[in-house]
Structure 1
Amino acid sequence: MRLAELAAALNLEPPAQEDATIEVRGATHQADWATTGDVFVAIRGARVDGHTFIADAVARGAVAVLGEGLPDGATCPVPYLRVAGARAALADAATVLAGRPSHELTVLGVTGTDGKTTTSALARHLLRAAGRPTGLLSTIGYELPDGVLRQPPTHFTTPEAPQVQQILRQMVDAGASDAVVEASSHALALDRVRGVDFDVAIWTNLTGEHLDFHGTMEQYFADKALLVQRARHAVLNLDDPWTERLVPMAAEHVTYSADGAPADWWASDVVEGTDDLRFTVHAPAGETTAVLPMIGRFNVANALAAMAGAHAVGVGLPELVAGLATFAGVPGRMEMTEHVAGDPRVIVDFAHTPPSLEKALETVRVTTEGRLWVVMGSAGGPRDPSKRAPLGEVATRLADVAVFTEEDHRDTPLEEILQEMERGAREAGRTNFRSIGDRREAIRHAVAEAAPQDTVVLAGKGPETTLERDTETIGWDEMAEAREALSRRRHP
């Protein structure tokens, strides 16, 4: 695309005549990602001004710059086009240069504090089971219709706008008719999914998290609500108190409830087995019995959300129920190790907020014959520190034994985090905990001490592949650590 065409598509002042025919191939806001033919978008951040890196971007092949205005006295060696908002311009340029791929897809977006990844994976599975080639962009990576999990070049829940658009273009080129996109609050607030044409918005819930970024619950809600406002149709959780405020924002909507509330989609007669959930689905098209091969009662809500979302784009109730029964689960979400006689049941789960940990432990308790153990920590660095003491309280209230340990403590002293979790337990009058700073040792301790009828929940890391200790980032595989701990138990 020529620079003049890009400027016209973005409603910008046209470049000088001698620059009009410059060919633009892509967009980036990271100078070290720039390649030949890119337009570099200079974003002014809280600490760093992207204009500082213009020379680096040009040296790597950038042919033009978009920005909100050059700093006083600064010059630009390539054409500079002024924009009202740099982040919005990054997304808009990336969308145009990728050929607006979401216009060629039916797109389901999923947002909420808890359940996004499982609901996204369920929706993708239900669409594929109905014969629709579907892509997925989620926390765990992205998939084209071939189902192979790939990793984007960035470690965000949702990648930056250029990567989002490139991945959607890959989906289209691979023959996808549908896409499921997990939209985090950061992605919505920072315009990473701007330019994505959402057909359906699925809302799971809203609880306190990421307040270090959003500042207040009101702002957190406002940022997440953008998905509902942008979509043609919304699927809203009637069990979430924030939904009442979402209804007026939706162009059209349906509701769902796992608690039997009078919703469009609701569940009754829930039976929790040791390896599946059985329940009756009540839907606008009728009612039927469903089986979901997952544990965790809260997954009934995720299943209803995914079913309602897939139904909104044309999948019938019989197909939805048939697809649900063949779902293979999500790595790191209530994922169980292979069980061997004499071993405790060990479950890896991503629960890392007080509400999600509460849900996880309450659910596992139902099918635990002996004691319930939990191994968990709380993130450090700029992450919300207010949840550390509540995590300690929830863990010791709902588990028989809690082992506090590390979980990406970054530059926060680990002892400080452990003390906060211990404080939450002690202030609630509980002593059923101990702290073991090294996560590997904590896991091995819990697995070794648990009885065969016990359940050990490893919470907080789920499918993540790294563990951050101070300034060091090491490779991590929670499921592999669980299996090694069980092996050591069998062969001490």
Structure 2
Amino acid sequence: MTLAELFAPFGLKAPPLEVRGIALDSRRVEEGFVFVAVPGIPLPHRKPLDGHDFIPEALKRGAIAVVGERALALPVPYLRVRDAREALAHLSRRLHGEPDRRLALLGVTGSKGKSTTASLLHHLLQAGGGGAALLSTLGLRLGEEARPPLGHFTTPEAPEVYAFLREAADRGLKAGVLEVSSHALALKRVEGLTFRIGVFVSFYPDDHLDFHGTPEAYFGAKALLVERAELAVLNAALPHLERLRARPHLLFGPGGEVWGEGLREEAGGLRFTLHTPWGSGEAFLPMLGAYNLENALAASAAALAHGLPLEGVLEGLATFRGVPGRMEVVQKEPFRVVIDFAHTGKSLEAALKTLRATTRGRLLLVVGAAGERDPRRREDIGRVAARLADKAFFTEEDHRTEDLGGILQALAQAAEREGGTYELVPDRKEAIFRALAEAQEGDTVLLAGKGHEHTLERGTLALPWDEKAVALEALRALGHLGQGPGPGKGGL
């Protein structure tokens, strides 16, 4: 596409230069790119950056045009807009040929469970033979081809979203499952997309208040997904349900049209009777944790509404291989080692309670709290760790530019108020080694907070990180490497 064609809907005449890409990060600009100068987001812990300050760098790197919100005179075509983020999304969509028109999009949002639900929904669509793409925190999938995630965001920026959807459509895939965060909705990373189905899995009002400010604003951001969907698949326990039910909808959970009965937690997973408007059947999901029933109901409801038969959904549930970094067992014996992404008080509580039920010995925990996030999260994590783990090793978890010592002290103070036992080990690798060295037969060691992530953020650096690889290294070094979960297995 040429620059003239790209800018035509905005009324700006431009030369017919070939556009090779769009970027809002000046470091990613290449020859032939359009640079969009986005104002930064004010947060309590830091001054925001402003893309307008990086226009000179973008021009040096070869930007052929600039989009921004200020009145500027530049040596290249300049499109001034009211909202640069909104323009970024619409320009990205236009550059990539409106790929969403060729795909049935299913979006998944929620405070907890959205990654698991999105991955399970993608698996159900794939098992049903339709061919689907997946964009999530855990990574990308084009059919069965897996790729690493695009950066540290749950939902990447608009240029990456639309480029991925374009590739999925060009490959002939019929559907796309997108895990959509509240940040992505508020920051217009998915602006312009219309979802065939929007799934709202869960809502915890105390999440992400450092960004959204109030529970009402946080809920409103998530509600944008279902407001843009042809059909909303909603947890019957959501607050403000009357607001969401104004659209065509399908409810799941107790009191909904799709619900589970007779849940039985077995060593290999969950068994329950799945009831739906399309019929009922006995279901098995090879994942532990009663909370995963909610994720299974959400994914099943969306798949059925999309047109999959009940038999196909039941077969797909039974063949799901779990989610990397979500209650992933690294070793079973002589003591169990589990990796989970739990990084809030509520998610950590659910993980610890699930593991406690099947732990013969002590329950040891390695956990931290992220920097540049709501400080109240540290209080919650510290209290839960003290109450539910026999011993916690408090360590780093993406402290970013915040003082790690201050974060660890906040965790320790919360744990002390609960009378918990803990150690402060600033280096995460050392904390994992110490916890595994202390573990004995029958114990469970939970490594919480990082899960699937491939970076560890220290200061302004994003260092390579692989929690599973570090755990296996420690087990080998300590001579404890025992029986694992088996090749390729996820869950418990």
Task: Please say whether Structure 1 and Structure 2 have the same fold, judged by a TM-score greater than 0.5.
Answer: yes
Tell me the CA shift for residue 244 of structure 1.
4.7
CA distance in 2, matches of 1:484, 1:59: 44
What is the aligned partner in structure 2 of residue 62 from structure 1? 63
CA contact (8 A) 2:436 2:445 kept: yes
CA distance in 1, matches of 2:149, 2:31: 23
What is the aligned partner in structure 2 of residue 267 from structure 1? 260
User: In structure 2, which of residues 276, 286, 292 is the aligned counterpart of residue 299 of structure 1?
Assistant: 292
Give the aligned residue type for 2:250.
Answer: V
SS in 2 for 1:421: helix
The answer to whether residue 173 in structure 2 is matched with residue 176 in structure 1 is yes
Give the aligned residue type for 2:347.
Answer: S
CA contact (8 A) 1:67 1:83 kept: yes
CA distance in 1, matches of 2:286, 2:244: 31
Q: 1:126 to 1:78 in 2, by over 3 A?
A: same
Identical residues among aligned pairs (%) = 49
CA contact (8 A) 2:68 2:81 kept: yes
Give the aligned residue type for 2:304.
Answer: H
CA contact (8 A) 2:387 2:420 kept: no
Tell me the CA shift for residue 488 of structure 1.
3.6
Tell me the CA shift for residue 491 of structure 1.
5.5
How does 1:210-229 map onto structure 2 within 5 Å?
210-229=208-227
Single out whichever of 382-391 and 469-478 deviates more from structure 2.
469-478
Q: Deviations for 1:117-138, whole angstroms, at most 9, x for unmatched residues? A: 1111101000000001111111
Q: Deviations for 1:47-93, whole angstroms, at most 9, x for unmatched residues? A: 344333334333433322222232xxx42112222222111001000
Q: Deviations for 1:313-360, whole angstroms, at most 9, x for unmatched residues? A: 1111110010111111111001001434xx211110000011111111
What is the aligned partner in structure 1 of residue 304 from structure 2? 311
The answer to whether residue 332 in structure 2 is matched with residue 339 in structure 1 is yes
The answer to whether residue 391 in structure 2 is matched with residue 393 in structure 1 is no
What is the aligned partner in structure 1 of residue 345 from structure 2? 354
Give the aligned residue type for 1:301.
Answer: E
Give the aligned residue type for 2:255.
Answer: P
CA distance in 2, matches of 1:20, 1:441: 57
The answer to whether residue 115 in structure 2 is matched with residue 120 in structure 1 is no
SS in 1 for 2:195: coil
What is the aligned partner in structure 1 of residue 159 from structure 2? 162
What is the aligned partner in structure 1 of residue 7 from structure 2? 7
CA contact (8 A) 1:25 1:97 kept: no
Structure 1 segments unaligned to the other structure (5+ residues): none
CA distance in 1, matches of 2:425, 2:67: 50
What is the aligned partner in structure 2 of residue 365 from structure 1? 356
CA distance in 1, matches of 2:447, 2:271: 25
Give the aligned residue type for 1:458.
Answer: L
Q: Deviations for 1:211-266, whole angstroms, at most 9, x for unmatched residues? A: 22112222111111111111111111123335454323xx2111111xxx211111
What is the aligned partner in structure 1 of residue 403 from structure 2? 413
SS in 2 for 1:148: strand
CA distance in 2, matches of 1:327, 1:146: 13
What is the aligned partner in structure 2 of residue 105 from structure 1? 103
Q: 1:147 to 1:23 in 2, by over 3 A?
A: closer
The answer to whether residue 248 in structure 2 is matched with residue 252 in structure 1 is yes
Q: 1:86 to 1:173 in 2, by over 3 A?
A: same
Tell me the CA shift for residue 471 of structure 1.
4.4
CA contact (8 A) 1:126 1:324 kept: yes
Structure 2 segments unaligned to the other structure (5+ residues): 42-47, 482-492
How does 1:48-87 map onto structure 2 within 5 Å?
48-70=49-71, 74-87=72-85
User: In structure 2, which of residues 190, 195, 199 is the aligned counterpart of residue 193 of structure 1?
Assistant: 190
Tell me the CA shift for residue 432 of structure 1.
3.0
Single out whichever of 476-485 and 281-290 deviates more from structure 2.
476-485
CA distance in 2, matches of 1:464, 1:66: 33
Give the aligned residue type for 1:314.
Answer: G
Tell me the CA shift for residue 472 of structure 1.
4.5
Q: 1:6 to 1:240 in 2, by over 3 A?
A: same
The answer to whether residue 279 in structure 2 is matched with residue 289 in structure 1 is no
The answer to whether residue 20 in structure 2 is matched with residue 29 in structure 1 is no
What is the aligned partner in structure 2 of residue 141 from structure 1? 139
Q: How many residues align?
A: 474
SS in 2 for 1:110: strand
Question: Taking structure 1 as the reference length, what is the TM-score of the superposition?
Answer: 0.91
CA distance in 1, matches of 2:311, 2:57: 56
SS in 2 for 1:327: coil
What is the aligned partner in structure 2 of residue 45 from structure 1? 40
User: In structure 1, which of residues 453, 478, 481 is the aligned counterpart of residue 467 of structure 2?
Assistant: 478
CA distance in 1, matches of 2:5, 2:149: 32
SS in 1 for 2:145: coil
Q: 1:300 to 1:484 in 2, by over 3 A?
A: same
CA distance in 2, matches of 1:383, 1:53: 26
Give the aligned residue type for 1:255.
Answer: L
Q: 1:241 to 1:58 in 2, by over 3 A?
A: same
SS in 2 for 1:332: coil
Tell me the CA shift for residue 305 of structure 1.
0.7
Tell me the CA shift for residue 5 of structure 1.
3.2
What is the aligned partner in structure 1 of residue 490 from structure 2? none
CA distance in 2, matches of 1:23, 1:484: 49
CA contact (8 A) 1:205 1:237 kept: yes
After superposition, the CA RMSD in angstroms is 2.0
CA distance in 1, matches of 2:320, 2:399: 34
CA contact (8 A) 2:391 2:420 kept: no
Tell me the CA shift for residue 193 of structure 1.
0.8
Q: 1:242 to 1:331 in 2, by over 3 A?
A: farther
